[in-house]
Amino acid sequence: MITGAFLGIHDPQITAALVAGVVAFVTAMATTPIRFVADNLLQRSKARTEYEYEQRKELRAKIGGYHGRLLEAATSLNYRLGKIYEKREHGWLNVNGDYTKRWPRHHFFNTTIYRFMTFVALASRFEGEAIYIDSRIAEDTDRLFLFYVKALRWTLTDPALFDGLGYDDTKATDHFYTDHLHRMCGTVFTSAGDVLADVSALEDLLAVEHELDVVLQFFDGLDPDDNLRLRWDRVVAFQLVLMAFIETFGYEVHKSEEKWFDAIARRMRPEVATNLMDWLPKLHIGTYHGLYTRRDPGGNMAVKALRTCLNTPR
């Protein structure tokens, strides 16, 4: 123990001050590493919290900018897909490769292309912008919105939807190549960054050199009763997921009854329905490790409809 006598100091007050100083020094030295570690952990926690908050905020803002437009485009397209089935006997999509006719000659065909491209173009742009946001830490509902956009793209592009049917996936006859779909989507935006305003603007585009031949050929002659090709099955799979998206993220006026989901599900081949039902959980639609079962009523209705149509004789 340090004493004044040891240091040659005999004044009690000086000795007490010296001892107090030494004790303070030793205490400070002992606690400095602990304080450093604690401060470092606190700073890292603060930085992580701020990062997560900014990422959630950015994704929420991004969804806010697209939600209304995507929902409106989805509702319009879903209505048209229903009309294709209801009016199939009229052959309104049979234009035989002539894609330059304007209203009223090819009105049904052109407006179908317009509605389809409007939705997929908006979805493609949203997905492209959201890819730079760390969605791992997003709110569950926001992440589900992103999952739906990706799932809808999957229904249009992945040959796995036709597993077991002998489909030749080396030729994009009844599916779209992802990169080509993105490129086509990019061509229906104006220089101001807005999607084409109306079908007349689309007809102007079709009258000059364009890159939409693939989507035009896909819908040309599309027939729900055609048993030789699988493109209608792809359209139906897309529509079922589209309806689920509308159900989950739409307003009360957009809601559909279960019977409509059942009716759509029964319009595709059993093999396609089976593949879609197998893939929806992988795409995080209907259920995602139990987190979204109540947040995703549309996904639940789609899965239930697929199960019903597969368990019921056609």
pLDDT tens by residue, 223-273: 999 999 999 999 999 999 999 999 999 988 888 889 999 999 999 999 999
Domain assignments of the chain as residue spans, ordered by start = 12-311
Indicate the pLDDT class of residue 41, thresholds 50, 70 and 90. Answer: low
Comparing 166 with 292, the larger pLDDT belongs to: 166
The answer to whether the CB of 247 falls within 8 A of the CB of 254 is: yes
Task: Kindly report, residue by residue over 110-153, the tens digit of the pLDDT.
Answer: 999 999 999 999 999 999 887 645 555 557 788 899 999 999 99
Does 15 have pLDDT greater than 80? no
* Distance (Å, whole) CA 72 – CA 294: 23
Looking at the DSSP bridge assignments, the partners of residue 195 are: 189
CB count within 10 Å of CB 226 equals 13
pLDDT score, position 29: 61
CB count within 10 Å of CB 209 equals 6
Comparing 284 with 292, the larger pLDDT belongs to: 284
* Distance (Å, whole) CA 124 – CA 182: 6
The answer to whether the CB of 110 falls within 8 A of the CB of 210 is: no
Greatest mean pLDDT among 27-31, 94-98, 135-139 lies in 94-98
Q: What is the pTM of this model?
A: 0.81
Does 51 have pLDDT greater than 60? no
Phi and psi torsions of 307, nearest 5°: -65, -40
* Distance (Å, whole) CA 14 – CA 38: 35
pLDDT score, position 289: 45
* Distance (Å, whole) CA 126 – CA 131: 9
* Distance (Å, whole) CA 142 – CA 60: 7
Q: Output DSSP code: residue 195.
A: B
Rg of the chain over Cα atoms, rounded to whole angstroms, equals 31
Phi and psi torsions of 251, nearest 5°: -100, 175
Phi and psi torsions of 195, nearest 5°: -70, 155
Tokens of 147: 């999952």
